[in-house]
């Protein structure tokens, strides 16, 4: 056995006349330029070397290959390109086998498809997830996958971006064998030996016959095109994927590859690609809050939840689903029974949909216990309070927690906007108090704002991030202020929507335009879904402290005064006859709006769709920038992730801060200054934006400064 290192992230080792090429480029063996060059050189060398009979491709560490190096996209291309490397592998005249463990995704799977035979271990995850990054498989994947597994299955993989395990990959024909152990090298070598013993020929995917039935293939392509046109909501790359597969069917292989390349480059140039890749990195970057770098999380093996209302029950479900035992505290037996019923409702819904068995529900609920006494929390590691949003009530709860909880227990509040510094100051152990702001429904929504009061210990913050991971939530670190990151920014763009409504736009136009931008719902639909009474109560509470110079639109109050709180009351901004989930415009609401315009002496004017979106986004971006400026959010990307995961911001636009850079900050500032001419109190340009525009810098330039 001889060994030689290429020193270029691909190790070469000769074993019994098999050249083992180990891609070793932590953390996921991405195919950066150095790896591409090294792979290409190694295959070339194997071909020339008479001591080599065959080549085995494996990955070092936990994965085969995670894909192209996403960090290279948007930068000048460096040769050799990945399609060229794949072609080089496929053209090799000696058998090449890919042995896959862990992830073989995107370009990683395309490398495997270019090999002549494939074996996957049980832990393998194979997929072509480029669509989730605004791309298409651009290293031959759109041409080789359909030839190997047929147009229908290949389109499904490429359009969904889903990962398949080894068994499914084998059933699809994506791999030829499933390994029995977890030793990828031995499995790969054994398979190669068997192939060589059987004198198995070099077999190239470009010659595979998965598209041999043109009628079935064409039908699959047309069905995918129809479905994609309906479902892809303005996304650019999905239809390009269908076009590329059509090219696979209609063109000779090399022409198809050229066509794929053109389509890939179009996707690469699209702002959607930039937005989606920004989202990919941002959602990983938020995990690296400063406290997580130097503090060790406390161990959490039991949790208390105070309150069994919608929020408390949702939080309890999230915890139970993560395998944690939960003790719920309520003030009396009836409330406790309601809390338990709220939890059961979630699981019964799953059972009704066939997504859970009664036994599984019983197993989950065995981890739940209820009590009307705080004393049941003496040994609990973490308590999350989800009681009524009122400072005195919260402080009373914290006084009890302070009394009963063991030293070192983490005391968390789920408040949406109350001053957590004040809550922390009311207990004898402020270092243990943190905000865990869940979003409703708490068992479903991915966002978790980790609100960091001034006196909290770093290990408590680290514990919150650790908990988020257990709950499969996306945590974003936020500072203390009214509304933290998300609700604070929401209040501002929501006000901008109200101003436009009073000035002449209908709520139905605003909602439509916001949906067309890519949000699942417009602001008035959201209000109807959440319940208008919630915002109304907040407005009443704040009435006394409201800045009298700030414009205040009363339309929502008029609607709430009639008891129209949205879906749950059958009408709000919209009508929901017979419990309908989708609302219909309501002429009576339009009459209320007209009357309010008159009362406020507003002469209504028309708004173009474009102006509505410009104002809506300018308000969102400006307050997002303020939140960064005041260090409530660590970086612009933290605002982006908050909006992607908590507020339905369209992912392909990357988040409001990324969108601002796409539009151009100077343009956003010019908009704000233009709007300020009519309302200088509301439209005050954020100092952060002003400063960045003066320096000619972007918000993205602040993303590396946490
Ligand atoms: C493509 O292949 C295009 C081709 O068709 C055509 C080209 C011509 N590049 O997720 P993790 C980083 S498009 C660069 O926490 P896990 C990631 O940012 C690509 N970096 O680990 C993180 O960095 P940090 C198609 C990457 O174990 C670290 O690795 N492929 C890449 O939970 C760990 O990541 C995909 O879309 C990359 N490709 O999951 C797959 N991937 O530590 C994308 C990851 O500094 N990747 N990083 O924060 C994944 O889905 C997951 O990372 C994976 C591992 C499942 C592989």
- Residue 59 CA to residue 28 CA, distance in Å, equals 9
Return the best residue to mutate from 26, 27, 101, 269 for the ligand 1 pocket (most ligand atoms within 8 A of CB). Answer: 27
Question: Is the per-residue pLDDT at 652 higher than 80?
Answer: yes
pLDDT digits (tens, 9 = 90+) for 680-694: 999 999 999 999 999
Q: What is the pLDDT of residue 4?
A: 46
User: Sign of the C-alpha dihedral, residues 103, 107, 111, 114?
Assistant: positive
Q: What is the third-level CATH fold of 506-605?
A: 1.10.1040
Is-catalytic flag, 110?
yes
Q: What is the third-level CATH fold of 300-478?
A: Rossmann fold (3.40.50)
Q: What is the pLDDT of residue 579?
A: 83
pLDDT digits (tens, 9 = 90+) for 295-354: 999 999 999 999 999 999 999 999 999 999 999 999 999 999 999 999 999 999 999 999
- Residue 564 CA to residue 76 CA, distance in Å, equals 56
Question: Is the per-residue pLDDT at 8 higher than 60?
Answer: no
CA of residue 66 to ligand 1 center, whole Å? 5
Question: Is the per-residue pLDDT at 541 higher than 90?
Answer: no
Is-catalytic flag, 130?
yes
Question: Is the per-residue pLDDT at 534 higher than 90?
Answer: no
Report whether 700 contacts 658 (CB < 8 A).
yes
CA–CA distances in Å: residue 611 to residues 35, 496, 546: 48, 12, 28
Question: Is the per-residue pLDDT at 255 higher than 60?
Answer: yes
Q: What is the pLDDT of residue 7?
A: 40
Q: Which atom of ligand 1 is nearest to the CA of 108?
A: 2
CA–CA distances in Å: residue 185 to residues 58, 121, 167, 188: 7, 11, 19, 5
pLDDT digits (tens, 9 = 90+) for 495-513: 999 999 999 999 999 999 9
**Residue range 152-175: average pLDDT?**
98
The pTM (predicted TM-score) of the whole model is 0.94
Reported as a pLDDT band with limits 50, 70 and 90, residue 5 is: very low
Tallying the residues shown for the chain, one arrives at 706
- Residue 581 CA to residue 77 CA, distance in Å, equals 49
Going by alpha carbons, the residue nearest to atom 18 of ligand 1 is 281
**Residue range 373-379: average pLDDT?**
97
CA of residue 65 to ligand 1 center, whole Å? 9
Residue 588: both structure tokens together: 């009576």
**Residue range 44-52: average pLDDT?**
97
Q: Which atom of ligand 1 is nearest to the CA of 68?
A: 2
User: Which residue is it, tokens 């330029």?
Assistant: 33
Say which of 4, 47, 90, 110 is annotated catalytic: 110
Report whether 535 contacts 524 (CB < 8 A).
no
CA of residue 387 to ligand 1 center, whole Å? 40
Question: Is the per-residue pLDDT at 6 higher than 50?
Answer: no
Q: Which atom of ligand 1 is nearest to the CA of 280?
A: 18
Question: Is the per-residue pLDDT at 578 higher than 80?
Answer: yes
Return the best residue to mutate from 60, 66, 165 for the ligand 1 pocket (most ligand atoms within 8 A of CB). Answer: 66
Ranges of each domain in the chain: 4-269, 300-478, 506-605
Return the best residue to mutate from 31, 34, 63, 67 for the ligand 1 pocket (most ligand atoms within 8 A of CB). Answer: 67
Return the best residue to mutate from 9, 28, 39 for the ligand 1 pocket (most ligand atoms within 8 A of CB). Answer: 28
**Residue range 250-266: average pLDDT?**
98
DSSP 113-128: HHSSEEEE-TT-EEE-
CA of residue 285 to ligand 1 center, whole Å? 13
Q: What is the pLDDT of residue 698?
A: 97
Going by alpha carbons, the residue nearest to atom 48 of ligand 1 is 284
CA angle 137, 140, 143 (to 5 degrees): 95
Q: Which atom of ligand 1 is nearest to the CA of 66?
A: 56
CA of residue 423 to ligand 1 center, whole Å? 40
Question: What are the pocket residues of ligand 1 if the criterion is a CB atom closer than 6 Å to any ligand atom?
Answer: 27-28, 30, 63, 66-71, 82, 103, 105-107, 110, 129-130, 133, 135, 137-139, 141, 281, 284
Q: Is 428 exposed, middle or buried (0-12, 13-18, 19+ CB in 10 A)?
A: exposed
Judged by DSSP in three states, 410 sits in strand
Quick one: which H or E segment has residue 43? helix 33-48
- Reply yes or no: is the peptide bond before residue 27 cis, omega within 30 of 0: yes
pLDDT digits (tens, 9 = 90+) for 542-569: 888 888 899 999 999 999 999 999 999 9
Question: Is the per-residue pLDDT at 535 higher than 90?
Answer: no
Q: What is the third-level CATH fold of 4-269?
A: 2-enoyl-CoA Hydratase; Chain A, domain 1 (3.90.226)
Going by alpha carbons, the residue nearest to atom 43 of ligand 1 is 66
Residue 572: both structure tokens together: 């709000």
DSSP 269-292: HSHHHHHHHHHHHHHHHTT--HHH
Say which of 4, 72, 130, 283 is annotated catalytic: 130
CA of residue 620 to ligand 1 center, whole Å? 30
Going by alpha carbons, the residue nearest to atom 56 of ligand 1 is 66
Mean residue pLDDT of the chain comes to 96
Report whether 379 contacts 302 (CB < 8 A).
yes
Question: Is the per-residue pLDDT at 529 higher than 60?
Answer: yes
């Amino acid at each position: 056995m001889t060994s030689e290192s290429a020193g270029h992230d691909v190790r070469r080792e000769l074993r019994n006349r098999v050249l083992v090429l180990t891609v070793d480029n932590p953390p996921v063996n991405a195919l950066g330029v150095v790896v591409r060059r090294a792979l290409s050189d190694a295959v070339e060398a194997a071909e020339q070397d008479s001591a080599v009979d065959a080549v085995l491709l494996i990955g070092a560490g936990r994965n085969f290959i995670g894909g192209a190096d996403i960090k290279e996209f948007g930068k000048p291309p460096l040769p050799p390109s990945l399609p060229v490397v794949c072609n080089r592998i496929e053209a090799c005249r000696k058998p090449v086998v890919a042995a896959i463990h862990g992830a073989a995704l995107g370009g990683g799977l395309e490398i495997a498809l270019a090999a002549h035979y494939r074996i996957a271990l049980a832990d393998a995850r194979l997929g072509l997830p480029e669509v989730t990054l605004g791309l298409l498989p651009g290293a031959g994947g759109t041409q080789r996958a359909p030839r190997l597994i047929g147009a229908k299955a290949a389109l499904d993989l490429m359009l969904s971006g889903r990962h398949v395990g080894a068994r499914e990959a084998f059933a699809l024909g994506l791999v030829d064998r499933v390994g029995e152990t977890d030793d990828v090298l031995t499995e790969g070598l054994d398979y190669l030996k068997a192939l060589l013993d059987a004198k198995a020929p070099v077999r190239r995917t470009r010659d595979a016959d998965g598209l041999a039935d043109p009628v079935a293939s064409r039908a699959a392509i047309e069905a995918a095109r129809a479905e994609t046109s309906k479902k892809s909501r303005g996304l650019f790359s999905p239809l390009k994927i269908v076009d590329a597969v059509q090219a696979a069917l209609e063109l000779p292989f090399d022409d198809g590859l050229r066509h794929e390349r053109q389509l890939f480059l179009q996707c690469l140039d699209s702002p959607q690609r930039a937005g989606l890749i920004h989202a990919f990195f941002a959602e990983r970057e938020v995990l690296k809050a400063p406290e997580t770098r130097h503090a060790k999380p406390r161990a959490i093996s039991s949790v208390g939840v105070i309150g069994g209302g919608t929020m408390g029950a949702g939080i309890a479900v999230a915890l139970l689903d993560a395998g944690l035992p939960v003790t719920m505290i309520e003030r009396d037996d009836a409330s406790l029974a309601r809390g338990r019923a709220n939890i059961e409702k979630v699981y019964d819904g799953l059972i009704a949909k066939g997504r859970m068995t009664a036994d599984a529900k019983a197993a989950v609920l065995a981890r739940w216990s209820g009590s009307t006494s705080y004393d049941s929390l003496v040994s609990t590691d973490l308590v999350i309070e989800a009681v009524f949003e009122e400072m005195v009530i919260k402080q009373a709860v914290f006084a009890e927690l302070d009394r009963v909880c063991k030293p070192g227990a983490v005391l968390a509040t789920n408040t949406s906007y109350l001053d957590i510094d004040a809550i922390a100051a009311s207990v004898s152990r402020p270092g243990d108090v943190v905000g865990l702001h869940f979003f409703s429904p708490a068992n479903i929504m991915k966002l978790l704002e980790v609100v960091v009061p001034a006196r909290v210990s770093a290990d408590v913050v680290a514990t919150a991030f650790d908990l988020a991971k257990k709950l499969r939530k996306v945590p974003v670190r936020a500072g203390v202020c009214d509304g933290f990151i998300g609700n604070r920014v929401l209040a501002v763009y929501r006000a901008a929507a109200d101003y436009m409504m009073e000035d002449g736009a209908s709520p139905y136009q605003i909602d439509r335009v916001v949906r067309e931008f890519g949000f699942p719902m417009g602001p008035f639909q959201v209000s109807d879904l959440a319940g208008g009474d919630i915002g109304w109560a907040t407005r009443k509470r704040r009435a006394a402290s409201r800045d009298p110079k700030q414009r205040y639109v009363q339309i929502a109050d008029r609607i709430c005064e009639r008891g129209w709180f949205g879906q749950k009351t059958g009408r709000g901004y919209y009508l929901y006859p017979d419990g309908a989930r989708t609302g219909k415009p309501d002429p009576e609401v339009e009459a209320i709006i007209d009357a309010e315009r008159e009362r406020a002496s507003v002469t209504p004017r028309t708004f173009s769709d474009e102006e509505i979106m410009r104002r809506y986004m300018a308000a969102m971006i400006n307050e997002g920038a303020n939140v960064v400026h005041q260090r409530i959010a660590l970086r612009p990307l933290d605002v982006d992730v908050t909006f992607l995961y908590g507020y339905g911001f369209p992912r392909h636009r990357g988040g409001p801060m990324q969108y601002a850079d796409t539009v151009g900050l100077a343009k956003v500032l010019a908009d704000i200054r233009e709007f300020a001419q009519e309302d200088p109190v509301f439209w005050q340009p954020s100092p952060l934006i002003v400063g960045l525009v003066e320096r000619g810098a972007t918000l993205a330039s602040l993303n590396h400064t946490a």
